[in-house]
Structures are given as C-alpha cells and as structure tokens.
C-alpha cells in the first residue's frame, strides 16, 4: 500500500463552526496502479488532493485522521519537512495547471527548477533530466526552449506533468488534469498518465468529475459524495454493477453518445455542507432510502471481495462490517 | 419557415503582432451560412477557439459582424431601422454559460425576471411570472421569488436564467454552453427541461457546446465547427452515427465512454493536437490523417446524403452549396 488515508477530516473555517469538506475518508492505494477518484463539486476531491500534498489553503485544517504516502506521514508536518517530500515522494498536477507556468521562463528551465530546488543535482544534469522528462511526456526538442505563451493548452499541461515527474516521485496526483482541454487533447493526456504508470511504475491518482473519463483510465475507482466515500472497487465492478445508489444514479445521468437512452437525473439538490443531513448524506436524494439511513454512522460493508460500500442497504447478514 | 438565417457570416479580429508592421487577422467566424427552421434545436459543436461563442454573440446581436448577415424572422439584424431592431430584441434571448456570473447578485429572482419585461416595455403580470418559474421546475414558485442568486444552487440558477429568457416569450434562444458548469447529476434534468419547453412552446434554439454527446441528445441538427467554419452539418443522428469529416470522426472517437472501460489498452487517436494551423486551404489538414494535395485549397460543401453536408476534399469538396 503506497497511499494510506485513515479517517481524514478536513475543516474549512474555525473549529466548532465552518464546513467539513472531507469527513472521515479512508482510502488505500496499491503501488503502481492508476486510481481514479470521482466526485462532483463539493465532494471534497480537491481538498483530499491538497491534504495529501500538505498544501491545504489558509483557513483549512486537518481536524483528524492520517495520510501516509510511501511511509511518510503528511499530516502535522512542518513546511520544511514537506519541502523534501513534495516533488520527490509525491507530486500534484493542479486543476488548470497550464496557467501556473511562469511566463518569463523557458519550458526546460521550469521543469529543471524542481531538481535545482531540491538540490538533487547540478545545473547541467538538471537540464538534461528536464529534457528527458519533456521527451517522456511527448514534448520534443523544438519545444524545450520556448516560453509558455508559445504553447497550446495541451502542450502546457504536458509541460506541467513533465515538471511534476522530473524528480521521479512515487506518486503522481492529477486533479482535473483535463478540464478546460479539448476532447481530442483530453484523451492524449489520459493516455500519457497511463504511460507514466507503465513506463515508470508510478502510482497515479486521477481525480475528476468526469466519470467516463476516469473509467477509461483507472484500475480502481473511488466515488465521493459530500465529503464522504460512497464506494470503492475495481473499475469494471463499479461501472457494471454499482452498489451505491449514488454511483448508479451518476452512471445513469451520463449522456452517452453510443447508446441513445433516456438520461436519468438524480433528484434534489447537492448536499449543503454547512447543514449536512443526519446520517447518510445522500439520503435526501436517494430512491432507496430507509428509516435507518438517518441513523447511519458510515460503517463500510464489503458484500463482495475487493469492494467496499458505505450504504445501509448492505448492512444485512451477508454484508460484513469492516473495522 | 426558417426563423434564423445566417448568410456568409464573418467576424475577423485584428491582432497586432510584435513587429507592429505586420498585422494578423484572426478569422474567428469565417463564412458561416445556416438556417434554423421554427421549432428546431440546432447545436454548434466546436472546441475552444473554434469561434462558436463569437458566432453566438453575433446571432444574439451583441457583436457586429465584419460581413454577412443575420436575418431573424425576416429582419436583418444589423441593417434595419432602430425601431425594427428594438422589436427584434424582444424576440431573441440568450442564456450564458456561467450561472454564477450572469445573474445580478443584488437582484432577487423576482427582479431578475421583471427586468427584461421592463426593458422591453412589456407588462409585468404576477401570474406570468409564477407560471414561468413553474415551467422551469422551480416549484413552488412563491418560494423562489424572494431569493437572491447566492441562495440558489448552480442548477437552480441556470433555471432562473432560462426563466429570464422565456418570460418575454422569445421566438429564438441562443444558449451558450448552458450545462457546462453543471454537475452531471444536475445536467440531465436541465436538458430534459429544454426538450420539454421545445415540445410545449415550440421554441427555436441555437445551442453552442463543446460536448457532442449533449448536442446529440437535445438537437435536431448539428453543425460541427472548426476554426471559424462549419465542416459538417446534418441531422443529429446522421452526423453522430455516420460522421464523414475526419475532424468529426476524431471528435467522436475521443469521447470517453463506459463501454470501453476496464482500462483495456489505451486508445491512440490518429489526430495530433499540437500542430500549427496552416495559412491556407483546409484548416484541419495539418492534423488530418487523410490529408492530400487537394487540401491546399479550401474545400466547399458537398451534400453526401440528403441534408448532410461535408466540407472536405475526400467527398469531392469542390462542389457548390
């Protein structure tokens, strides 16, 4: 297990009030896989990504739980301890990252910067490794010495990924890496993430609101709703036989180009995190809600091997509660 | 009878380059002709930078074209008298992409709906106002009239934006990426709302979107837009199920889907995305897997099946339309 998140709770705002954007989330990611996290706005997916890097914005704090990445405990660390972890153990490619390139620096220098900041090697070697990394993400010689404004959106995103992987981190976290890119470019970025996993044995965590996109790339998928995990399982299990009613609803609400069918909508409004319902957060929108759902304490059940679901429907005799 | 007719519509922007002497001309919309009959939903599908929003802004009368004409209900939008244009404004409404930015945060829902009526000197009738809210699924309407935009979810805001467009009983609506800011679970009900309004009130709509799946779901006809030009146009099913232009094909192949899941081997689209545009000829030819010598000339539109047009030399492309 290269990433182990246990009972992570992140709060925005002061203690006692504010909003719990992530609430007792536990995740396990095996080494070398592509792990997809699917969630809509307000699900807590970006907050989890930032917490994993120790990069929570001002005003957000880890209220409880732990995050271990390659044996390194991220929570409660000082900035100085995190500096050597970022980039080398884990890297993050942000949402809209292509706009985070320094407009005054050549592409190859920006990629080399990570190595120089970590004092991992001298200038000459850094540049050499930067170029190798750029080549790896599909950016050839003619791009190395260009400035960001001379690149297309897709090329900039590739350059950001090159910068993220140049120090060969064990884990690459990509938060909405394809949002704002054109469909044709999206596929290419997703293929690139898969190649990084295959060529470098890197563990990749792909976070997106785009369920079909995540399912095209991932080995395992975790579905989030309102700061809570709904279910975790292999890609094909989740897509073919969803257990959680929210997952099923999400699958049915996707407009498919290949099969023309009625799209179903999940009724109701997204959960208001400042006033979350008692018990299961999805209950007010759930077609299978029962009385006991309002008392649900978010126990996880494993009705099938390799799967976890957080739903009272599976609390029967065959679903065995996990600790 | 067609409500909207675009004839050879063009919008060029001048961009000053570093040399100051040379000026670059961006042909954002480059010779678009199309007609939308009454009661149809016509989608313009294109990537960012294809010029689709510029087209929408011209159709809504917010941007003057460089040349060509926009004729709405028989009236030329940019070459008629002021009185006629004022009348025209009543019959055309626009729904913007971002429901967080397009509603005045200091207006209540009631004020938001009353404003277009006042501007067009139409009477404000309480029953109408409540009915419109009901039609867009904001029920009971009395619960919403006093609310401010920040008290609404993204899906509810976009419904208010539709209600604002509907309340003046327009003949034509331009919707620019109306669902791209909505979560998947909210998107479906919004699209169904559009379909039901069309069915009941027979509204005519031009929808601008980057998402061909959504275009397929709601529209009667689709125009595929690339670098300011329509490269393929036809009935939604024809374009999606029998795509002819290499760009349309690449677009459709790139749409992620569950059926291909299981991460069973990556797909390699034949179309590179990081190549510069050619200066002349077919704008897609530098990316096109089927490019040939003929592509150095601009292809004309060919009707490959009834009402299915393609602008590509593979299909004879020199034909006239």
pLDDT tops 80 at residue B317: no
Query: Shortest Cα distance from B10 to chain A (angstroms)?
Result: 24
| Minimal Cβ distance to A212: which of B192, B251, B257 | B257
- Residues sharing a CB contact under 8 Å with residue B128, sequence separation 6 or more, in sequence order: B167
Query: Given pLDDT bands bounded at 50, 70 and 90, which one contains residue B260?
Result: low
Q: With pLDDT > 90 as the criterion, what percentage of chain A qualifies?
A: 75
Weakest mean pLDDT among A4-13, A150-159, B176-185: B176-185
Chain B residues at the A interface, defined by Cβ less than 8 Å, are 47-48, 153-156, 183-189, 191-192, 210-214, 216-217, 240, 250-252, 254-263, 266-269, 271, 273-274
Query: Shortest Cα distance from A223 to chain B (angstroms)?
Result: 13
In the prediction, which pLDDT does B200 show? Answer: 84
In tens, the pLDDT along A205-255 reads 999 999 999 999 999 999 999 999 999 999 999 999 999 999 999 999 988
pLDDT tops 60 at residue B265: no
* Beta-carbon pairs below 8 A across chains A and B: 133
B255: closest chain A residue by CA = A183
Q: What is the CA radius of gyration of chain B?
A: 21
- Residues sharing a CB contact under 8 Å with residue B195, sequence separation 6 or more, in sequence order: B218
| Minimal Cβ distance to B185: which of A40, A152, A210 | A40
pLDDT tops 60 at residue B321: no
Question: Residue B135's closest CA among B55, B196, B78?
Answer: B196
User: Residue A71 CB: number of other CB atoms within 10 A?
Assistant: 10
Query: Given pLDDT bands bounded at 50, 70 and 90, which one contains residue B188?
Result: confident
Using a CB-CB cut-off of 8 Å, the residues of chain A touching B256 are: 186-187, 190, 210, 212-213, 215-216
In the prediction, which pLDDT does B259 show? Answer: 62
Query: Shortest Cα distance from B274 to chain A (angstroms)?
Result: 7
- CB contact (8 A) between residue A184 and residue B273: yes
Query: Shortest Cα distance from A157 to chain B (angstroms)?
Result: 12
Using a CB-CB cut-off of 8 Å, the residues of chain A touching B249 are: none
In the prediction, which pLDDT does A8 show? Answer: 97
- CB contact (8 A) between residue A263 and residue B212: no
d(C-alpha B94, C-alpha B207), whole Å: 10
Residue with tokens 């972890």: A85
In the prediction, which pLDDT does B279 show? Answer: 86
Using a CB-CB cut-off of 8 Å, the residues of chain B touching A258 are: 257, 259
What letter would DSSP give residue A40?
A: -
In tens, the pLDDT along B3-57 reads 999 999 999 998 776 655 666 788 999 999 999 999 999 999 999 889 999 999 9
d(C-alpha A166, C-alpha B114), whole Å: 57
Specify whether the CB–CB gap between B291 and B308 falls below 8 A: no
- Residues sharing a CB contact under 8 Å with residue B10, sequence separation 6 or more, in sequence order: B27, B29, B30, B31, B32, B65, B66, B67, B68
CA torsion angle for A196, A198, A201, A205 (degrees, to 10)?
A: 60
Query: Shortest Cα distance from B308 to chain A (angstroms)?
Result: 19
- CB contact (8 A) between residue A155 and residue B259: no
Specify whether the CB–CB gap between B33 and B22 falls below 8 A: no
Question: Residue A144's closest CA among A118, A176, A106, A194?
Answer: A106
A236: closest chain B residue by CA = B262
């Amino acid at each position: 297990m290269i990433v182990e998140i246990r009972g992570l709770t992140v709060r925005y705002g002061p203690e006692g009030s504010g909003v719990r954007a992530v609430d007792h989330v536990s995740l396990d990611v095996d080494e070398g896989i592509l792990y997809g996290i699917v969630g809509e706005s307000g699900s807590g997916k970006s907050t989890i990504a930032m917490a994993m890097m120790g990069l929570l914005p001002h005003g957000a704090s880890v209220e409880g739980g732990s995050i271990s990445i390659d044996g390194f405990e991220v929570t409660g660390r000082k900035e100085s301890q995190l500096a050597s972890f970022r980039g080398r153990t884990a890297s993050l490619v942000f949402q809209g990252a292509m706009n985070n390139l320094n407009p005054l620096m050549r592409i190859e220098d920006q990629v080399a910067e990570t190595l120089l900041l970590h004092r991992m090697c001298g200038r000459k070697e850094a540049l050499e490794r930067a170029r190798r990394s750029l080549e790896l993400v599909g950016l050839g010689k003619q791009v190395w010495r260009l400035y960001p404004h001379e690149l297309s959106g897709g090329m900039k995103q590739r350059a950001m990924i090159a910068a993220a992987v140049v120090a060969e981190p064990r884990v690459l976290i990509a938060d909405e890496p394809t949002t704002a890119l054109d469909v044709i470019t999206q596929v290419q970025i997703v293929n690139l993430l898969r190649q990084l996993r295959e060529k470098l044995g890197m563990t990749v965590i792909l976070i997106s609101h785009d369920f079909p996109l995540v399912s095209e790339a991932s080995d395992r998928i975790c579905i989030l709703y309102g700061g809570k995990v709904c279910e975790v399982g292999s890609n094909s299990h989740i897509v073919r036989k969803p257990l959680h009613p929210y997952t099923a609803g999400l699958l049915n609400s996707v407009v498919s180009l290949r099969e023309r069918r009625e799209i179903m909508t999940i009724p109701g409004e997204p959960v208001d995190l400042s006033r979350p319902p008692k018990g299961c957060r999805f209950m007010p929108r759930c077609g299978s809600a029962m009385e006991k759902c309002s008392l649900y304490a978010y126990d996880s059940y494993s009705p099938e091997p390799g799967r976890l679901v957080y739903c009272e429907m599976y609390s029967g005799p065959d679903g065995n509660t996990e600790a | 009878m067609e409500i909207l007719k675009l004839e050879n519509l063009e919008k060029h922007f001048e961009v000053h380059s570093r040399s100051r002497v040379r000026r670059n001309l961006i042909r954002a919309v480059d010779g678009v002709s199309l007609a939308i009959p009454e009661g149809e939903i016509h989608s313009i599908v294109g990537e960012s930078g294809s010029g689709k929003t510029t087209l929408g802004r011209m159709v809504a009368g917010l941007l003057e074209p460089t040349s060509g004409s926009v004729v709405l209900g028989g009236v030329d939008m940019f070459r008629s008298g002021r009185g006629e244009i004022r009348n025209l404004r009543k019959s055309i409404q626009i729904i913007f992409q971002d429901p967080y930015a397009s509603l005045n945060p200091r207006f209540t829902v009631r004020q938001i709906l009353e404003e277009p009526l006042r501007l067009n000197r139409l009477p404000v009738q309480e029953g109408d106002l409540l009915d419109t809210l009901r039609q867009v699924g904001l029920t009971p309407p009395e619960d919403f009239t006093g609310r401010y935009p920040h008290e609404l979810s993204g899906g509810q805001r976009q419904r208010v934006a539709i209600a604002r467009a509907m309340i003046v009983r327009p003949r034509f609506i331009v919707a620019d990426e109306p669902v791209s800011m909505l979560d998947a679970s909210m998107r479906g009900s919004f699209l169904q709302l559009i379909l039901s309004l069309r069915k009941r009130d027979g509204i005519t709509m031009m929808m601008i979107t980057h998402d061909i799946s959504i275009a397929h779901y709601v529209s009667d006809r689709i125009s595929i837009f690339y670098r300011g030009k329509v490269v393929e146009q036809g009935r939604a099913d024809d374009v999606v199920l029998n795509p002819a232009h290499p760009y349309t094909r690449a677009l459709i192949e790139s749409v992620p889907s569950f059926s291909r899941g299981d991460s069973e081997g990556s797909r390699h689209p034949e179309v590179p995305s990081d190549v510069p545009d050619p200066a002349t000829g077919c704008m897609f030819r530098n990316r096109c897997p089927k490019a040939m010598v003929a592509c150095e000339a601009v292809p004309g539109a060919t009707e490959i099946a009834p009402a299915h047009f393609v602008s590509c030399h593979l299909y004879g492309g020199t034909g006239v339309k």
